[in-house]
């Protein structure tokens, strides 16, 4: 793959890099965590210096909420003079069970290096230990792998320099009377805040990258809350400035050690650049940025057209792979067709905003053809649902995206959503990303009460599990599920799960 850099766009993005807000956060309690992940108080934080750690002993510190930042520890020894290095293991956990998991037993398919633990030798005590990495965590375990028989380690103080591009004090909480919705909003805001760093990261624990699918949803939540328009603009210029040689926009970008587009390209994520730009325009009316980025956006439509056959039906294959959801076995053909139509809708809005009347008319005609193809090829009149793929799979996602794209609208769309809920197909949804779109479809159909009830079931389920921030993946039927072979590397503060803050404000009349 050949990469191309638009230096003008990248330079604009560099100038928009935020100065991060820093806050000092200290632990609030000393706790115990059992094998099942249950947290129980052990001692007041003021008693920290009373704990002396010899070989095999540990303490767990609770910071009270999910933090993203840099940790420093003030350590000393007591007993006889230090006659050997202090050998410590520091383990950070976003959720309690991460503290109790044995990383040696990890057998997932992505790198074990994402597990947040450090083994450190300290030759001289007392000292301030400043850890160079940034961590995402609520709990910190300090475990003495070894000392010597003559001395013990004492933790005098622990401080986290928490960082974010925004401040929670900038946002008014929702006025809902329901305590579940109040808590949902708070956790959603915390999720978004901790993912807003020098870019909108997908997860501050893992992968710490800028993903376009996540950015689109983060930006919507941001417009309703923190209103940091400059950070969204920065990310859009990075995506448009770091591209494949044919103009394709990548699914994700690296920002360190240099700005670089990854070699992952997705049919749906590339198209969502159009939607992200449209949403930005509707939030800011910044037509100058739209003018500059429109050619990059429209190029995604041009490239996507190559993925359709002569009947205007999207072809299945690796060359136009869609993400859509992590659900194993999910056929994504119908969703891809609908997402293209969805992007056309947003492209029409942008073309009209730019007074490109002829192009807007051409896109409207194209939309008619592709909607007709979707109805002819994917609609099963007998079952009253959209099917997908050669095996005619029925799934939630096919219906949701056809509704969001407007292939079915009004009363027909409402009936379709009722039908799929009634059918409850085996091919469900597992990510907050896809569940967000399900709620959006309910709202679009006028089913606002059902949307709220579903949010309480889904995101409320994570709250019931003790979430301080919302997770990368949550399957109510299997909370331990992981797409990576082990939940040890799951992200428990993840960008695409932050949208209740947006949805609840969209539903403000109902909450």
196 Cβ partners below 8 Å, 6+ apart? 164, 165, 166, 218, 222, 226, 228, 231
Measured between alpha carbons, how far is 219 from 382 in angstroms, rounded to an integer?
39
DSSP-derived letter for residue 90 is E
| Count, residues in the chain | 511
- CA-to-CA separations, 238 to 200, 229, 243, in angstroms, rounded: 12, 14, 9
Average pLDDT value for residue range 86-111? 95
**Model confidence over 338-354: pLDDT tens digits?**
999 999 999 999 999 99
Mean pLDDT taken over the chain? 96
pLDDT value of position 508: 84
Question: Which of the four pLDDT bands, split at 50, 70 and 90, describes residue 319?
Answer: low
Question: Which of the four pLDDT bands, split at 50, 70 and 90, describes residue 317?
Answer: confident
Q: Nearest CA to 219 among 287, 279, 296?
A: 279
Average pLDDT value for residue range 458-463? 98
SS3 of 457, please? Answer: helix
Measured between alpha carbons, how far is 198 from 214 in angstroms, rounded to an integer?
15
Does 511 have pLDDT greater than 80? no
Average pLDDT value for residue range 187-210? 97
Measured between alpha carbons, how far is 2 from 415 in angstroms, rounded to an integer?
47
Distance, C-alpha 216 to centroid of its chain = 10
The full set of domains in the chain, from first to last, is 24-164 (2.60.120.260), 174-506 (1.50.10.10)
Q: Which one is predicted more confidently, 35 or 275?
A: 275
pLDDT value of position 78: 98
Percent of the chain beyond pLDDT 90? 94
Average pLDDT value for residue range 386-394? 97
Average pLDDT value for residue range 137-151? 98
Measured between alpha carbons, how far is 23 from 32 in angstroms, rounded to an integer?
26
Does 63 have pLDDT greater than 70? yes
pLDDT value of position 1: 85
Structure tokens at 298: 């429209």
């Amino acid at each position: 793959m050949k990469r191309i850099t638009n230096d003008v766009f990248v330079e604009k993005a560099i100038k928009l890099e935020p100065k991060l807000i820093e806050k000092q956060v200290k632990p609030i309690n000393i706790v115990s965590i059992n094998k099942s992940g249950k947290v129980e108080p052990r001692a007041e934080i003021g008693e920290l210096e009373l704990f002396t750690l010899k070989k095999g002993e540990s303490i767990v510190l609770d910071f009270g909420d999910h933090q993203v930042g840099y940790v420093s520890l003030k350590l000393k020894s007591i007993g006889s003079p230090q006659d050997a290095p202090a050998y410590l293991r520091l383990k950070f956990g976003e959720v309690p069970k991460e503290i109790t998991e044995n990383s040696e037993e990890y057998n997932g398919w992505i790198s074990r290096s994402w597990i947040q633990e450090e083994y450190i030798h300290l030759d001289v005590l007392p000292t301030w230990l400043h850890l160079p990495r940034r961590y995402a965590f609520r709990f910190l375990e300090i475990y003495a792998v070894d000392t010597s028989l003559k001395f013990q380690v004492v933790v005098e103080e622990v401080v986290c320099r928490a960082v974010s591009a925004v401040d929670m004090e900038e946002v008014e909480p929702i006025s809902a009377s329901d305590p579940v919705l109040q808590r949902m909003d708070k956790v959603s805001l915390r999720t978004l805040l901790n993912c807003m760093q020098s870019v909108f990261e997908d997860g501050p624990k893992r992968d710490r990258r800028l993903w376009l699918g996540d950015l689109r949803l983060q930006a919507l939540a941001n417009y309703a809350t923190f209103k940091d328009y400059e950070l969204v603009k920065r990310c859009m210029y990075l995506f448009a400035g770091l591209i494949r040689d044919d103009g394709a926009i990548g699914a994700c970008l690296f920002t360190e050690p240099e700005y670089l587009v990854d070699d992952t390209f997705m049919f749906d994520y590339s198209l969502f650049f159009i939607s992200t730009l449209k949403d930005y325009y509707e939030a800011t009316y910044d037509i100058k940025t739209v003018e500059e980025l429109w050619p990059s956006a429209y190029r995604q439509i041009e490239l996507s057209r190559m993925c359709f056959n002569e009947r205007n039906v999207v072809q299945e294959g690796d060359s136009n792979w869609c993400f859509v959801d992590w659900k194993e076995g999910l056929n994504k053909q119908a969703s891809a067709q609908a997402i293209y139509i969805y992007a056309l809708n947003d492209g029409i809005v942008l073309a009209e905003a730019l007074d490109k009347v002829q192009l807007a008319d051409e896109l409207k005609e194209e939309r008619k053809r592709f909607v007709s193809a979707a109805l002819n090829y994917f609609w099963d009149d007998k079952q009253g649902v959209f099917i997908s793929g050669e095996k005619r799979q029925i799934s939630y996602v096919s219906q949701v995206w056809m509704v969001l794209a407007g292939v079915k609208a009004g009363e027909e769309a409402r009936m379709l959503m009722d039908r799929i809920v009634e059918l409850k197909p085996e091919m469900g949804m597992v990510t907050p990303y896809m569940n967000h779109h399900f709620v959006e479809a309910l709202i679009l159909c006028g089913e606002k009460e059902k949307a709220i009830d579903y949010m309480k079931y889904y995101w409320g389920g994570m709250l019931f599990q003790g979430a301080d921030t919302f997770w990368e993946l949550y399957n109510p039927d299997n909370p331990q599920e992981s797409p990576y072979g082990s939940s040890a590397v799951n992200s428990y503060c993840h960008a695409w799960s932050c949208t209740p803050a947006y949805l609840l404000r969209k539903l403000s009349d109902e909450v």
